[in-house]
Structure 1
Amino acid sequence: MICNKSILLAFVGIFIFFGSSSCQAQLNESAKPRVIVSSDIGGTDPDDFQSMIHLMMYSDLFQLEGLVSSPFGDGTKKDFLDMIDIYEKDYKQLLPNAPELPTPKSLREITKQGQKDAAPFKGHTTPTEGSEWIIACAKKKSDQPLWIMVWGGIEDLAQALHDAPEIKESIRVYWIGGPNKKWSINAYSYIAEHHPDLWMIEANATYRGWFMDNDSPNDLKGNAYYENYIQGRGELGKDFIKYYDGNIKMGDTPSLAYLMNGDPNNPTGESWGGSFEKIHRSSRNVFKGGSSLQDTVAAYATVEWRFIGPEISVPEDSVVFQIEVQNQTWPGYYMGDGVYGVRYSSKKPEQGSYKTSSSIAELDGLEGSYISTVPWPGKATADDYQLGPNWYSDRQNPALFIEDQQGAKTISKYRKEFLMDWAERWKWLEK
């Protein structure tokens, strides 16, 4: 009996040991942040290719659940797939140092096509493969949130929230705004107005600390890092030189770096991806009949012009005029009852002007101006979108600006630490 009892206890001990190891493995796996990246890769700015290279080289640190192509311009999910093909060529060499890197096959399986066009005035259209994937991932049972890193247009997130608003309970968003907000202003306005309780980091300028390298050591400056730490290292290194001649930009990477260092549950703390402050309103200015240089708005604010014209027999949200602002053109919409509207957001402080064009005489040739200033969100107005308790944005302290870029020093201070960490991974691809 003593012998049998000893055997039984030994067996139980072995079971507990292996059971604990298995549970620990699951715990470690679940501790990895769940991530979907929505990117305009292949669109108007090639820096997303640089950020994608960085993402793949660090993908062992995350549960990567989706790669959604949400471009403006010519990009499609094929641009993601092309980058995965390059990653596959370096995969075996990377693996000994990071055995939990996802397989190229698994990355291809989670790559989805999102919305290719900017949302109309109402801020949403029809579901896409990408928006439906966001919903499906958000609805998975998990003890941690799904982080949605938006590197471009926010249309697919807006569509997902429209179609399944309950996912707000399960997601957290880090959006690289600024220029992306300008192009995605209708989708953004929909989210701010109808989903103000979203957990959101809106980085309109902070991210620029990633590539504004005024205070960097010479070997880490954007035009030197490639030669010093990337050149000659793997197929990914060969590809990197194709974008900005290898100069470091990677303006979307701070969203991922936010999860790599610091406490992501506390946006007001310190991290590689910046430090932010809570905002309770999103600046919005509605100008009925136009604006002039007497009108000052906050940079990154929603600027909405409304004009009066004839009542016409077209569906609401039809594009019936255009507005040119700062040498770029946006569609203007019929809102019904003889009211016409268009939105814009400046990506920086500026003195701007606009001019409309239309086959409708009353909407043709209207001109005006405005001035946008920092800090965001500026002075309160009755038109502002009122936000919930978990919306964060760039810090307003002037000491944290780089030139006119609000909050950028909260990232630039970690530039050396981050880039040297990445340099260690590039060593894995040395021959």
Structure 2
Amino acid sequence: MFSLFAHAQKPRPERPRIIVSSDIGGTDPDDNQSMIHLLMYNDMFDIEGLVSSPSFGSGSADEIRRMIGIYEKDYDGLKKHAAGLVLPDSLRRICKQGRRGLAPFKGYDEPTEGSEWIVRQARRQSDRPLWILVWGTLEDVAQALHDAPDIKDKIRIYYIGGPNKKWGVNSYAYIAENFPDVWMIENNATYRGLIADGKRDGEVDSRYYERVMSGAGHMGADFINYYKGRVKMGDTPSLLYMMDGNPDDPEKESCWGGSFRRTAYTSRRVFERATTLNDTVPVYSVIELRMKGPEQLDIDQDSVCFTATIDRQTWPGYYLGNGLYAVRYSPKAPAVLSYTVSSGIKEFDGQHGTFVVDRMWPGKRCKDDYAVGGNWFTDCGDKEYFEGPWQGAGLIRKQRHEILEDWTERWNWLKDR
């Protein structure tokens, strides 16, 4: 079946080099959905790495290999229509294990197989930059930059932030502070325009699994295992961005993967006191709660020595040395949030506070902000592209039907055997 929308993709200068860093197999199964999408379209990329990072729970490079095994069963059916599809064994060879768990306060730790692979591929001689598509947190990207600062000008990052930024706030802060000139697309909310929404998408797209995927090969049979087949794929906009038009132009209009705006800063707020309802922070900002306490001569700097419970979740707090303690947090949505500190250190055990999270990102400039260079882009703040609280989501939502119809063609290849 020929897709009426196949022509909608705008031409690209050349096939992009990419590494995908994914927390697949962890807490959110939408990475499995996005991995299926990548495998079905892999002829459109030069894939140089598939990194599991950070690996939570059952997450590991083995989960990526499991997905490749499902792709392998459909490979012959897809190959008839797309000769450039990569052999399953070739994909297995570039699966790498990244960091297991999150980085400490300093934002990096020890090299991993994944971070070393990023460095290796970034240093390869090529006229094309290496794009790193980050579906989880920035742990292995931060580690690679720490270990090999020379790769900064050789890589470009498309980062699905929002909730991932909340979890990986320390690695994000390290990059923003130490590599402000790195080429970065920080997508905190625009990606939400691809997530299924029955109220906005209409009956056809909201029943996409039943209409299109059901009965379409082994990958179609597997897709039902993630969100019961409801198309979420919050990480897929990073792929769509590379597929549609010139990736060197983040401000391009009508791109399947979003349109972004250059920013000179990303928001950060530092509090050296308990916060109150009079304190407002931008959504997706880096918040540092700092406290004074005794000098600890018997523990290492960057050691966890207290916790902060924020929005019913517990976050590690660190000793920074010289009697200074801190915890970082990044709110993923507008809200009024409270926190409580728990510690064996009596000076701040039980400290609590409240703050307001505003919906505009990056918000008004503040002395604490990270100043970033001319190649840092983020969600469009135009009011017309908000979907509820989600900044920029309308830029993808208006193209969602077109995106899914293009994908329909590939699913139909698996029904034609």
TM-score range, shorter chain: over 0.9
- Give 3-state SS (helix, strand or coil) of 1:215's partner: helix
- Give 3-state SS (helix, strand or coil) of 2:347's partner: helix
Q: Give the conservation status (yes or no) of the 8 Å contact 2:196–2:230.
A: no
Gaps of 5+ in 1: 1-27
Q: Give the conservation status (yes or no) of the 8 Å contact 1:90–1:429.
A: yes
Which protein shows a greater Rg? 1
Q: Give the conservation status (yes or no) of the 8 Å contact 1:320–1:332.
A: yes
Offset of residue 358 of structure 1: 1.1
Report whether the alignment pairs 1:267 with 2:227: no
For the structure 1 residues 197 and 29, does the alpha-carbon distance in structure 2 shift closer, same or farther, using more than 3 Å as the test? closer
Letter in 2 for 1:31: E
Structure 1 partner of 2:152:
168
Q: Give the conservation status (yes or no) of the 8 Å contact 1:290–1:306.
A: no
Structure 1 Cα separation of the partners of residues 265 and 350 of structure 2: 33
Structure 1 Cα separation of the partners of residues 397 and 302 of structure 2: 42
Report whether the alignment pairs 1:367 with 2:358: no
Structure 2 Cα separation of the partners of residues 421 and 79 of structure 1: 27
Structure 2 partner of 1:423:
408
Higher relative contact order (CA 8 A, sep 6+): 2
Report whether the alignment pairs 1:309 with 2:256: no
Structure 1 Cα separation of the partners of residues 131 and 269 of structure 2: 30
Structure 1 Cα separation of the partners of residues 176 and 13 of structure 2: 31
Structure 2 Cα separation of the partners of residues 166 and 290 of structure 1: 40
Report whether the alignment pairs 1:131 with 2:134: no
Once the two structures are superposed, the pairs formed by residues 14-413 of structure 1 within 5 Å of their partners are: 31-74=14-57, 75-213=59-197, 214-221=199-206, 224-270=207-253, 271-313=255-297, 314-413=299-398
Gaps of 5+ in 2: 1-10
For the structure 1 residues 363 and 72, does the alpha-carbon distance in structure 2 shift closer, same or farther, using more than 3 Å as the test? farther
CA RMSD in angstroms, aligned pairs only: 1.3
Offset of residue 29 of structure 1: 12
Structure 2 Cα separation of the partners of residues 318 and 419 of structure 1: 47
Q: Give the conservation status (yes or no) of the 8 Å contact 1:42–1:79.
A: yes
Offset of residue 289 of structure 1: 2.0
Structure 2 Cα separation of the partners of residues 148 and 184 of structure 1: 16
TM-score w.r.t. the length of structure 2 is: 0.95
Q: Give the conservation status (yes or no) of the 8 Å contact 2:12–2:246.
A: no
Instruction: Provide Cα deviations, 1:160-207, integer angstroms capped at 9, x if missing partner.
Output: 000111111111110000000000000000000000000000000000
Letter in 2 for 1:425: R
For the structure 1 residues 29 and 395, does the alpha-carbon distance in structure 2 shift closer, same or farther, using more than 3 Å as the test? closer
Instruction: Provide Cα deviations, 1:378-423, integer angstroms capped at 9, x if missing partner.
Output: 1111100000000000001111100010000111111011100000
- Give 3-state SS (helix, strand or coil) of 1:361's partner: coil
Q: Higher helix share goes to which structure?
A: 1
Letter in 2 for 1:298: P
For the structure 1 residues 184 and 192, does the alpha-carbon distance in structure 2 shift closer, same or farther, using more than 3 Å as the test? same
- Kindly, what percent of the aligned residue pairs are identical? 54
Letter in 1 for 2:191: Y
Q: Give the conservation status (yes or no) of the 8 Å contact 1:280–1:388.
A: yes
